[in-house]
Amino acid sequence: RLQIEYLLSATALSQHKQSDGSDVVWGLTQTPKTIPPRYFYDDPGSQLFEQICELPEYYLTRTEGAILQGCAAEIARLTGACEIVELGSGSSTKTRILLDAYNKLGYPLGYVPIDVSAGILESSARELLADYPSLVVRALVSTYELALERLEASRLATRMICFLGSTLGNLNREECDRFLSQIADALNVGEYFLLGVDLQKSEYLLNAAYNDSQGVTAAFNLNMLEHLNWRFDGNFDKAQFEHWAFYNKSQSQIEMHLRSVRSQTVQLRALDLTVEFEKGETIFTEISRKFDLNSIQKELQGHDLVPLQVWTDPNQWFGVLLCQM
Ligand code: AVJ
């Protein structure tokens, strides 16, 4: 009942622009320097992210989970039996809420988890299979882009693509637009898109969520450098960088950076890349956009993803939207 396809395996690596490190070379030679946020998620990074989800300051996961608990039965009723495709599935914790709802209605369970972190994908798939005896899992170790291309033709049932946790916020406006077009391309008319987005709120709460008192978010940010070290034979010293995150109010987004504490030179030998840092220079590692429910619905509609139902929590901190193509 388990099939795993590796679109990021060593052999696939050389064939795909997105995993051969050309994005890292590009980002580290820009001003300001950037690294795409998917490099957070090697196996240790995915574990740190799981820890973030438990932090008292990080309200996102908890709030979305509570919303899903309240609306999963209604989602299952609205969509009927379907194949659940999840982009950035991670530990699949929230997916269980959906699987339970479909299970209760007696629907066959098909799940397609997609993640760049093979370790967490394999272990969570095994745990799910043990807990859901009728579940069929077809996992993809892949970036979203490659997976969405791969998905297009075959499907087990009506498809619902889930993109939870406000990962959409990691994409800038242009990337978001392209991404939603890819989602629409991967769906047939009548199929579904389930989206979770973090909403605009007090600056104080947002800053706290990305600067937790235990320093887990800092460790998560700095882990990206270790990931680059092993993947591209680099010599980043993470003690020479520091975590820096703040809410950019005019852009309605959290920005995360790594700041070089001194002038230094770093090499990524597998990429044939030498990078010079000035003291105080930063690497932009993530944007986390905070959405407005009206504007995101218009944007979805612009891609023929029609919002059927929107759920939120009593504080209106987080939104879950079920859309139909
Ligand atoms: C998984 C992308 C939604 O932006 O809140 C958590 C990642 N970064 N703490 C987010 C993250 C810093 C997270 N997303």
pLDDT digits (tens, 9 = 90+) for 165-198: 999 999 999 999 999 999 999 999 999 999 999 9
Q: What is the pLDDT of residue 16?
A: 47
Tell me what the mean pLDDT of segment 8-23 comes to: 62
Closest-lying ligand 1 atom to the alpha carbon of residue 49: 6
**Cα 91 to the center of its chain, rounded Å:** 12
Confidence band (pLDDT; 50, 70, 90) for 151? Answer: confident
Mean pLDDT of the chain: 94
Exposed e or buried b per residue across 95-116, where buried means at least 16 C-beta atoms within 10 angstroms of its C-beta: bbbbbbbbbeeebebbbbbbbb
Q: What is the pLDDT of residue 10?
A: 53
Confidence band (pLDDT; 50, 70, 90) for 90? Answer: confident
- In the chain, the amino acid numbered 72 is A
Compute, in angstroms, the gap from residue 136 CA to the centroid of ligand 1. Answer: 29
Q: Which residues are 309's β-sheet partners? A: 322
Compute, in angstroms, the gap from residue 42 CA to the centroid of ligand 1. Answer: 14
| pLDDT for residue 92 is more than 90 | no
- Among protein residues, the one with the nearest Cα to ligand 1's atom 5 is 288
Q: Which residues are 318's β-sheet partners? A: 198
Separation between Cα atoms, residue 135 and residue 98, nearest integer Å? 13
| pLDDT for residue 2 is more than 50 | yes
| pLDDT for residue 118 is more than 90 | no
Separation between Cα atoms, residue 90 and residue 42, nearest integer Å? 11
Q: Is 114 helix (H, G, I), strand (E, B) or coil?
A: strand
| Residue pair 115/141 in contact by the 8 Å Cβ criterion | yes
Q: Is 159 helix (H, G, I), strand (E, B) or coil?
A: strand
Percent of the chain with pLDDT over 90: 83
Q: What is the pLDDT of residue 17?
A: 45
Take residue 119 and report the two structure tokens written for it. 């370790």
Q: Which residues are 242's β-sheet partners? A: 259
Q: Which of 62, 286, 289, 317 to mutate to test the pocket of ligand 1 (most atoms within 8 A of CB)?
A: 286
Residues with CB under 6 A from ligand 1: 52, 60, 165-167, 169-170, 210, 217, 286, 288
Compute, in angstroms, the gap from residue 106 CA to the centroid of ligand 1. Answer: 34
**Confidence (pTM):** 0.94
Task: Examine the predicted complex and report whether its ipTM is higher than 0.90.
Answer: yes
